[in-house]
Amino acid sequence: MSSSDRPPASEAPRLVRGLSLLDATMIVIGSMIGSGIFIVSAKSSALVGSPGWLLAAWAIAGVLTITGALCCAELAAMMPRAGGQYVFLREAYGSSIGFLFGWALFFVVQTGTIAAVAVAFANFMGVLTPRVSENVYLVRPIHLGNYFALSLSTQQLVAIVLILLLTFTNTRGLKTGKLIQNTFTFTKTAALFGLIVIGLWLGRNSGSAAYTSSWWNPWSNSGWNPGAVQPGLENTSVLWLVMLVGVAMVGPLFAQSAWNNVTFTGSEIRDPGRNLPRALLIGCGAVVALYLLANVAYVVTLPLRAFPALQKPPNTVATETMKAALGQPGMILMAIAIMISTFGCNNGLILAGARIYYGLCVDNTMCLGFAADVAANSDRRRETWRVQVRQRLWPAARLCDLCGSHFLCPDGRRGVRDATQGSDPRKTLPHVWVSGGADHLYCARPLARD
């Protein structure tokens, strides 16, 4: 598309406020509930060695999560712009800190989180079929020296296909993205609630950790070996236990993360001054409450000695809780529920994450000084996908694929690397498209901040 074909500045499409309070709350809940709640309690329990301290670790992590969400809600209400935390850091500490935060998300944080959740989805698909496994290779390992190898397993392929599918569906528009998000968030919240009810009602037994273990004195619980965690811990003071509670909070904090993704969509939430804080408070409060109840279901169903062996899918505290209550069908149902949960979580991460890069482009930070605009129609979307298939511009593009964003040069020129070499980048790279999330963005001319 030439510059002459583009609409004038006054008609340029912008992000629209199409997200209601319900939609924003679903992004918070959907991004938070992934695979963590179904897995990490086993490790935390092995560290603290008692049901009471396990619940304390989750409760303290929940208080920290809600406190952080309330602080972020204040900022989001004052600066409801695309980019969320990037905007907050830019305004507080300057453009250089915002620049580093945005690129860290682009290369590591958002990318890595999406990849990890996709792998979790593939892990639990392996419960349904043995063909999906990290040990079933399509490309056998190609060793690069003594420590590295390249390979492609069926598990990795499923994770890649999931990311590509969700990236594609989000390019259909904001309505499609939020429909998927709302549907899967309602479904997985119902599944988590079902786990709680079944665990507390059908799974409860007199041999579980809640009935056979000391709640607050892990040293008296048989089957817990403190020496395996920290040599000499058997003879140490309570201070060591307090430190272990802090270590045990790592998993719960990870499971309760990603609530900040809703701030990335600040430019698209209706009445953000009211709805953003409410979405953060309602969403985080609901998830923290569900997580605490889920852990109560675990400790009233499973014996304490079983927890340390349940740290790797498909054998997790959630699947074993359902298996104890309903038998093998319960384990399969739980695996399907976790797949639904990770699917919805990844959709939320991909939908919200692209807004960070939009904010960077608007500020002339990511796209070599050019700002961002929004694709207005399906013809432009189809053209973007044709360009994506036709060109392989940047070695880092596979990282961009993981977070739902692609740097492409529609006119066939060599792109970003060449643009940095000329005296006038605008002559070398007049258009750089960025597609991702629920919109397609291209960098062509400066725009006012949202």
- Evaluate the omega torsion of the peptide bond into residue 314 and state whether it is cis, within 30 degrees of 0: yes
Q: What is the pLDDT of residues 417-447, one digit of tens each?
A: 333 333 443 333 333 333 333 333 333 333 3
d(CA 73, CA 233): 41
Q: Is residue 351 exposed (0-12), middle (13-18) or buried (19+ Cβ within 10 Å)? A: buried
Beta pairing, strands 311-312 & 439-443: unpaired
Count, in order, helices (H) and strands (E) of the chain.
Answer: 19, 8
Q: Whose CA is closest to 97, among 110, 82, 113, 85?
A: 85
* Comparison of pLDDT for 202 and 397, the residue scoring more: 202
Percent of the chain with pLDDT over 70: 74
User: What one-character DSSP code corresponds to residue 5?
Assistant: G
Calculate mean pLDDT across residues 115-125: 92
Mean pLDDT (the chain, rounded): 77
User: What average pLDDT score do residues 236-241 get?
Assistant: 72
* pLDDT: which is higher, 407 or 330: 330
What separation in angstroms does the CA of 338 have from each of 123, 311, 331, 368?
Answer: 10, 15, 11, 40
Domain at 16-366, CATH homologous superfamily? Amino acid/polyamine transporter I (1.20.1740.10)
266 closest CA partner among 447, 404, 75, 103: 75
Tally of residues, the chain: 450
Q: Which residue has the tokens 């060793």?
A: 143
Query: How sure is the predictor about 384, in pLDDT bands with cuts at 50, 70 and 90?
Result: very low
| Cα–Cα distance for residue pair 76/107, rounded to 1 Å | 24
Between CA 411 and CA 2 the distance in angstroms is: 9
Which tens digits make up the pLDDT trace of 7-46?
444 444 567 788 899 999 999 999 999 888 999 999 999 8
Q: What pLDDT sits at residue 366?
A: 56
Instruction: Kindly tell me if the per-residue pLDDT of 223 is higher than 60.
Output: no
The answer to whether 263 and 85 have CB atoms below 8 angstroms apart is: yes
CB 138 within 8 A of CB 158: no
Is the per-residue pLDDT at 241 higher than 70?
yes
Nearest CA among 178, 378, 179, 357 for reference residue 268:
178
Closest C-alpha among 21, 31, 85, 26 to residue 256: 31
Residue 182: CB partners within 8 Å, gap ≥ 6?
22, 23, 26
Q: What is the pLDDT of residue 422?
A: 39
pTM attached to this predicted model: 0.76
Q: Hey, what amino acid is at 376? A: A
234 pLDDT band, cuts 50/70/90, is: low
pLDDT digits (tens, 9 = 90+) for 347-377: 999 888 878 877 777 776 555 443 345 554 4
How is 343-360 classified by DSSP, letter by letter? HHHHHHHHHHHHHHHHHH
Q: For 383, phi and psi rounded to 5 degrees?
A: -65, -40
245 burial via Cβ count (<10 Å: 0-12, 13-18, 19+):
middle
pLDDT above 90 as % of the chain: 35
Q: Are 229 and 47 in contact (CB under 8 A)?
A: yes
On the question of pLDDT at 170 being above 90, the answer is: no
pLDDT over threshold 70, residue 393: no
Residue 94 and residue 113: Cα distance in Å, rounded? Answer: 26
145 falls in which pLDDT band (50, 70, 90)?
Answer: confident
Structure tokens at 444: 């062509």
| Residue 378 predicted with pLDDT over 50 | no
